[in-house]
Amino acid sequence: MENENIRLEELEIKRKSIIEKRKRYKRLITICGGTGCQAYNCREVFEKFKKLIEQKNLKNKIELKITGCHGFCERGPIVVIQPEGIFYQKVTPDDVEEIINETIINKKIIDRLLYIDPITNCKIEKEKEVPFYKKQKRLIFGNNGLIDPTNIEDYLAIGGYKALAKVLTEMKPEEVINEIKHSGLRGRGGAGFLTGLKWEICRKASGTEKYIICNCDEGDPGAYMDRSLLEGNPHSVLEGMIIGAYAIGAHRGYIYVRKEYPLAVKNISQAVRQALEWNFLGKNILGSGFSFSVDIVQGAGAFVSGEETALIASIEGRRAFPVPRPPYPAERGLWKKPTNINNVETWANVPLIISKGAQWYSQIGTETSKGTKIFSLVGKINNTGLVEVPMGTTLREIIFEIGGGIPNGKKFKAVQTGGPSGGCIPENLLDLPIDFESLSEAGSMMGSGGMIVMDEDTCMVDVARYFLTFTQHESCGKCVPCRIGTRQMVQILNRIVKGDGKAEDIVKLEELAQTVKNGSLCGLGQTAPNPVLTTLKYFRKEYEAHIYDKKCPAKVCTALIAYYILPEKCVGCLLCLKNCPVEAISGERKKVHVIDQEKCIKCGMCQEVCPPKVNAVIKLSGKKELENITKEIEGKGG
């Protein structure tokens, strides 16, 4: 007992000294270093800051940090200056000197680096006043912007590992499980199973050797919140896992990360090493007698390995084939031992619940879905980024207030949630308060939190085909309904987008969808038809237009569109003619150009290169439109 007290005291003393040490800094400059901002070359901005801070002898006054993802990917590279919270966006290395001279030394704001609210046209100085952030409740994700994920001291300075210390000294494993149960936390990976209950089943399962797994095989295209947590705040995930292991009685854990996420792999690996040094991992953790270790396993690119049983197969070094459940992994999982698998975001919620209490946590959210959820808001949206909101927030609030609506004045058409297993939700359901149940009722699902916004230029048949091609490709091939059913569905959809759709195709699609849904072995197949079913439900007219009128209303499906050059607008600049990859355009300088429809492959290059002020190339679809234009052009030509 004595030993335990000393170790914990030590932790608090060390924490205090870390906080004390930092007080000498007057300013903190954080640069978003998530994968998104790295793609904008934020590293160069960081290096420039570092160099200038050294040159100007400011090292003792200014703390410089490259942090995890701040979420507002649209505006990267992002620089935030604390304590004021001054928010600069789209910062380039050339801006750095000015930021130091003006903002840091002279305390002046640099206007041109501020974010302009597109609705009010006002310039916004502070991060928390940017509408994108203002409407969010960033309980899990907020710390990303404050800490350097590669430095455990940063996590300790904001109270990190306090929850673990509390659990190890004050709580019995059953009490931890009860706390999580009472919080109402549900799995953030897709199905929304009650986390506390899952833990309890695994704890009660017979056998002394048990495992826990953190699932970061984030495979849904357009979803990257798990990556950003693992990249930006790896210790919060780790702390959640250690608490879970203690509650369940597991002594070994695995973190399964996609290999496509190199930064996440690097940061979590480093976090594990640091946690070992600090004895948050390893033997006799903080003198409690509890031991736990963690290994990192890298995935190799298979969507199906996000499924629990397939993921287990992958960790065991096999092909990621799922197996039927029951038995559930909680009873018979990794190496046939009881195993508890939770998603990254679920684990990251755990320390928060322990610190603030189940009572507090369960007040956030809706009746059945508690807490917040991180969504990745992408597609045809002004503010692409990661958004954390309480469960029960409406789609409209997320898309229009936080996301800033649709770019280029286009009209909203649908939002796709839940990845390839989810569905497309139309405009009349935008006021839906989102939680696990409401999304299922709309025919979609929460999934891991991908939210892809589509506008009037998106063809819903093409989208359905896109998702089904995806799941068909990723189907592991083990069970017949998924392997063959999805292939048949793709064939029908391919036929429809090519203009060869038949009247009976819609019914056939619906029948096949039901079979695949009911007969497939795992979640991948059971949910694969959702994108087709929801688009058929909400956008049936688009299917009918493709089949009966040979028309793609959004003008996306290449077989059903044609490009024409309007003679009255064409100035004869030769641009399209030179750029056409198949030499389908004829004409001379200052004479009207004409597209040879026989040769045209409909790549759209001519429309892309035609100068906006000329805007002579139009895209048409449907028999009627095409007949009319031919007549019109021929009429003018003659």
Which range binds another protein by CB under 8 A, 99-107, 427-435, 439-447, 460-468?
A: 460-468
Smallest distance, another protein to C-beta of residue 235, A? 21
Smallest distance, another protein to C-beta of residue 494, A? 13
DSSP 288: S
Tally of residues, the chain? 638
Q: Which of residues 225-264 bind another protein (CB under 8 A)?
A: 227, 259-261
* Residue in the structure block whose two tokens are 């292991």: 245
| Host H or E run for residue 416 | strand 412-417
Residue of the chain from 220, 239, 345, 542 that contacts another protein (CB under 8 A):
220
Q: Which of residues 169-198 bind another protein (CB under 8 A)?
A: none
Nearer Cβ to another protein (25/466): 466
Q: Which of residues 9-38 bind another protein (CB under 8 A)?
A: 35-36, 38
| Host H or E run for residue 126 | none
Residue of the chain from 145, 187, 234, 385 that contacts another protein (CB under 8 A):
385
Smallest distance, another protein to C-beta of residue 425, A? 14
439 binds another protein (CB under 8 A): no
Smallest distance, another protein to C-beta of residue 69, A? 10
Nearer Cβ to another protein (106/408): 408
For helices 344-356 and 234-248, give the axis angle rounded to 10 degrees.
Answer: 80
Which range binds another protein by CB under 8 A, 94-102, 177-185, 214-222, 237-245?
A: 214-222
Nearer Cβ to another protein (100/304): 304
435 binds another protein (CB under 8 A): no
Q: Where are the alpha helices (DSSP H) in 395-552?
A: 395-396, 436-441, 460-474, 480, 486-497, 505-519, 523-527, 530-538, 540-548
- CB under 8 Å to 244, separation ≥6 — which residues? 199, 212, 250, 340, 342, 347, 350
x/- binding map, residues 289-308, to another protein, per CB under 8 A? --------xxxxxxx-----
* Residue in the structure block whose two tokens are 């569109």: 561
CB atoms within 10 A of CB 379: 21
CB atoms within 10 A of CB 421: 27
Q: Are strands 252-257 and 293-298 parallel, antiparallel or unpaired?
A: parallel
Cβ pair 131, 398 in contact under 8 A: no
In terms of Cα–Cα distance, which of 148, 139, 151, 128 is closest to 72? 128
384 binds another protein (CB under 8 A): yes
x/- binding map, residues 394-433, to another protein, per CB under 8 A? ----------------------x--x--------------
> Residue 279: what are its φ and ψ, rounded to 5°?
65, 30
> Residue 213: what are its φ and ψ, rounded to 5°?
-130, 140
Smallest distance, another protein to C-beta of residue 295, A? 10
Q: How far apart, in whole angstroms, are the C-alpha atoms of residue 338 and residue 209? A: 7
Smallest distance, another protein to C-beta of residue 462, A? 8
Positions that interact with another protein (CB under 8 A): 35-36, 38-40, 73-74, 76, 218-224, 227, 259-261, 297-303, 314-320, 376, 378-380, 384-385, 416, 419, 450, 452, 454, 458, 463, 466-467, 470, 476, 579, 581, 603-605, 608-609
